[in-house]
Amino acid sequence: MNPIITASEYLSESAGPRPPVLLDVRWQLGGPHGRADYEAGHLPGAVFVDLDAELAGPPGSGGRHPLPDPEAFGAVMRRAGVRGDGPVVVYDGGQGWAAARAWWLLRWTGHDDVRVLDGGLAAWTGELTTVIPAPAEGDFRPEPGALGLLDADGAAALARSGVLLDARAAERYRGDVEPIDRVGGHIPGAVSAPTSENVDSDGRFLPAGRLASRFSALGADGTAEVGVYCGSGVSGAHEVLALEIAGQRAALYAGSWSEWSADESRPVATGPAPS
């Protein structure tokens, strides 16, 4: 299944016999909170999901956005109307990171019919509404493990044995700047692969062939195991999604740089080269 859906495809499916559950996951690093934007206008039928509170656990030693407790996540999804056998579409304000985080969590916990609205809210040309829906309770029960998940040691090992992609901006990878975490730089052996280069100027994903060529040039050519990390496991999910579009399955290091860099015993590489 194609993990993304266009606005016109969604409009058609929403009028069909199995309309997807629609989740609005608008979020920005550092705020403001996406709930206000949702209440000001959202796609008809969309249920708001809070990335910080519902798609992540409390920040701490596991990073800024550690994975949520699976049972708590399942309860959130059921309240939103998600069923185990029903389609789900997720969108955000257009950047795609937050929507990809929701996509990854649902896929990781066993839901196999989840797609991201390509281009997000900006791609929608229909009317918006302020009506808050009250969906019927869903029945989705998470079963974690359907997608690859790395911890810090696994990410370090994969950087040596396979391909570990760093989805952050290149200047953070090099260590030129670090506006959020304790120190700049990257996991030794990781390859710089900014997620911003997976989309066009409108925030839509590049065609599958172009994405495949990009990742192949970075070493992810289908012959080695691939992993991805970012700052806190949000934009990294977007890169996992881009790899999926390109026909490759990748594991996510959910703790990412916020977990890695918080531990002063872990090595840090700087500069443009992996090591």
- C-alpha–C-alpha distance, residues 44 and 259, integer Å: 37
Q: Is residue 192 within 8 Å of residue 170, measured between CB atoms?
A: yes
Condensed to tens digits (0 to 9), the pLDDT of residues 63-90 reads 999 999 999 999 999 999 999 999 999 9
pLDDT at 32 over 80: no
Long-range contacts of 103-108 (CB under 8 A, 24+ apart): 103/3, 103/237, 103/241, 104/147, 104/237, 104/240, 104/241, 104/252, 105/55, 105/67, 105/68, 105/73, 106/77, 106/82, 107/146, 107/147, 108/144, 108/145, 108/146, 108/147, 108/149, 108/252
Q: Is residue 113 within 8 Å of residue 88, measured between CB atoms?
A: yes
Q: What pLDDT does 94 receive?
A: 87
Fold of the domain built from segment(s) 149-260: Oxidized Rhodanese; domain 1 (3.40.250)
Fold of the domain built from segment(s) 4-123: Oxidized Rhodanese; domain 1 (3.40.250)
Q: Tell me the pLDDT band of 1, cut-offs 50, 70 and 90.
A: confident
Catalytic residue list contains 95: no
Q: Tell me the pLDDT band of 97, cut-offs 50, 70 and 90.
A: very high
Set 89, 211, 220, 230: catalytic member: 230
pTM for this entry: 0.97
Residue limits of CATH 3.40.250.10 in the chain: 4-123, 149-260
CA-to-CA separations, 86 to 7, 46, 111, 112, 113, in angstroms, rounded: 19, 15, 9, 9, 7
- C-alpha–C-alpha distance, residues 247 and 1, integer Å: 11
SS3 179: coil
Condensed to tens digits (0 to 9), the pLDDT of residues 135-193 reads 999 999 999 999 999 999 999 999 999 999 999 999 999 999 999 999 999 999 999 99
Q: What pLDDT does 134 receive?
A: 96
Q: Which of 216, 196, 206 is nearest to 245 (CA)?
A: 206
Beta bridge partners of 174: none
Q: What pLDDT does 235 receive?
A: 97
Condensed to tens digits (0 to 9), the pLDDT of residues 217-229 reads 999 999 999 999 9
Looking at this protein, which amino acid is placed at residue 97?
A: W
